[in-house]
Structure 1
Amino acid sequence: MIQRIDSHQHFWRPARGDYQWLRADEPAVAPLLRDFMPEDMAPLLSAHGVSQTVLVQAAESKAETEFMLDLASAHGFIGGVVGWVELSRPGAGAVLERMAGHPKFKGVRPMLQDQPDDAWIACRPRPDAIRTLQRLGLRFDALVKPRHLPPLLRFLRHWPELPVVIDHAAKPPVGANDGEAFAQWRADIAAVAAMPQVCCKFSGLWGEAPAAMHGDVEAALRAVRPVWEHLLDVFGPSRLMWGSDWPVLTLAGDYAGWIAISEACIGGLAQSEQDDVWAGTARRFYGLASE
């Protein structure tokens, strides 16, 4: 069986109180308003040969990062944690120093897609905080939508030595590959990919497809394949990493379905290239322990 690393998944316990986006009165996310914990995911990982995961923040709070680090200490399959630090505030560097004391703390993710200013990333993070990220060998997950790619590119050009990964391929308009918006995404993600410090996650794309494709593996594959082909062209397999975005994935399909869609795309590569996308890129980027 192919060895896999899931480079993007979440756990949460809504009763903790800091998941502001998880609301019962929002039909699109209401099914997610329950506990999703390691015991829920472990059978999926075992069934599909996933040896490690990267646990990614879902709340803008230090408390949630500490919650995730506690889970990582208790569960060996969690290979790394991407947490949250307010990079625009004084003292961010000191917070990063404390969190980096945990061996599984691998980086940070500002929730850029939720910032009121689309250009936040280009102007608000404190330079001393970014320098601390670099000094500590930490990584930066960019949770962006297509409109954020131009300001992100300005940030990348200013900090060319900071390792950055684009979450969910910047959430392109999956299934609309003949449209103007898709063409613009293609151009902007290619410009970002030209920066050698940037990787990209092949994740979260089923959820970006039209609702009519949710639950339909074949339809989702037809919609996702043009995205995959462009990502492969501009990043190459050594800078692409597979992830599930579980449990957000469950809004569109299931773990087995996303594995099937991904296998149909990744399986066309040479074996060494498949190994990169399924595991090698994530292991190198996040500095995960070898199995």
Structure 2
Amino acid sequence: MQIDAHQHFWHPARGDYGWMPKDDPVLSRPYGPAELWPQLQAAGVQGTILVQAAPTVAETEYMLGIADATPWVLGVVGWVDFERPADLAEMRRLAQHPKMKGLRPMIQDIPDDGWMLREDVQWAFRAMCDLGLRFDALGFPRHLANFLTILKRYPRLEVVVDHCMKPQIREKSEAHFRHWAEGMSRIAGETAAVVKFSALITEADADWTVEDLKPYVDHVFAVFGPERVMWGSDWPVCRLRGEYADWRAAAERLTEGLTDVDRALIYGGTAVGFYGL
């Protein structure tokens, strides 16, 4: 079974997508299952993980409603307010839904890079361990050291690093690559985290090539191994740099030298195991 381990649906009129530009021709419009399904079929993908795009419990409810009505949406990664301990009740309630798989605080958008280390948010990490909810780690390379601290503090927490931690490929900087690579190597070697092979094209130049992505992908495969890597589209955000089929084709070129078994893990098996599909 082939899985897209990271995609989004949204409707800007809901009003809680604070990150979204108001007039962006790609992002600032509704996206729903009817538009994605033909693209999944063309790529041979049978199921997806639907991931939060707004920091509200209401959006999590919206996604679970879509998942209830859409058989191929196999799991949802939602949101609760880590700064509000009373949201433990929300976390417990949401965890009872059969398609609720994990949570994702929008750490990349939080001004304080040390936010995840604050004492007042630790209850949420402990509760996720107790409830069996996975943690989608969304950040930038500058967050790598703090994520490593959290992952080692909570070894029972099941963690996936979103988008290879968003290396800034467009910078074409050896120092940046080295910092990112060392941080990812430590997470791979010192924790049990897995990683999403996703969203790399949106961190590259508009005229990106497969060769631009290859050093980053090769490093992730080398340090994590295919059994700890899962492919995702990051649709529709990926449309800032290419259509679904463009990123899928690039990913297939980047994995063409792997064995059939390794490719089966990257394009489905790892996600099935991690999210309990």
Q: Same fold (TM over 0.5)?
A: yes
State the 1:189 CA deviation: 1.0
Structure 1: state its 5+ residue gaps. 214-218
**C-alpha distance in structure 2 between counterparts of 1:269 and 1:185, whole Å:** 23
Note closer, same or farther for the CA distance 1:175–1:23 as it changes in structure 2 (3 Å cut).
Answer: closer
Identity within the alignment, %: 46
**C-alpha distance in structure 1 between counterparts of 2:211 and 2:191, whole Å:** 29
* CA RMSD after TM alignment: 1.4
Q: Secondary structure at the match of 1:212?
A: coil
Question: Are the aligned partners of 2:8 and 2:52 in contact in 1 as well (CA < 8 Å)?
Answer: yes
Question: Are the aligned partners of 1:24 and 1:30 in contact in 2 as well (CA < 8 Å)?
Answer: no
**C-alpha distance in structure 1 between counterparts of 2:256 and 2:72, whole Å:** 25
Instruction: Name the counterpart of 1:283.
Output: 272
Out of 211, 220, 223, the position equivalent to 1:231 is 220
1:77 is the counterpart of 2:62: no
Out of 16, 34, 55, the position equivalent to 1:18 is 16
Instruction: Name the counterpart of 2:5.
Output: 7
Deviations 1:149-177 (A, max 9, x none): 11111111111110111110011022555
Out of 134, 140, 145, the position equivalent to 1:145 is 140
1:32 is the counterpart of 2:34: no
**C-alpha distance in structure 1 between counterparts of 2:13 and 2:273, whole Å:** 35
State the 1:23 CA deviation: 2.1
**C-alpha distance in structure 1 between counterparts of 2:28 and 2:119, whole Å:** 31
Note closer, same or farther for the CA distance 1:153–1:101 as it changes in structure 2 (3 Å cut).
Answer: same
1:260 is the counterpart of 2:249: yes
Structure 2: state its 5+ residue gaps. none
> What TM-score comes out, normalization by structure 2 length?
0.96
**C-alpha distance in structure 1 between counterparts of 2:110 and 2:225, whole Å:** 30
**C-alpha distance in structure 1 between counterparts of 2:117 and 2:223, whole Å:** 23
Instruction: Name the counterpart of 2:52.
Output: 57
Instruction: Name the counterpart of 2:116.
Output: 121
> What TM-score comes out, normalization by structure 1 length?
0.92
1:44 is the counterpart of 2:39: yes
Q: 2:99 is aligned with what amino acid?
A: K
**C-alpha distance in structure 1 between counterparts of 2:165 and 2:242, whole Å:** 20
Question: Are the aligned partners of 2:230 and 2:268 in contact in 1 as well (CA < 8 Å)?
Answer: yes
Question: Are the aligned partners of 2:226 and 2:265 in contact in 1 as well (CA < 8 Å)?
Answer: yes
State the number of aligned residues.
277
Instruction: Name the counterpart of 1:271.
Output: 260
Question: Which is further off, 131-140 or 9-18?
Answer: 131-140
State the 1:272 CA deviation: 1.0
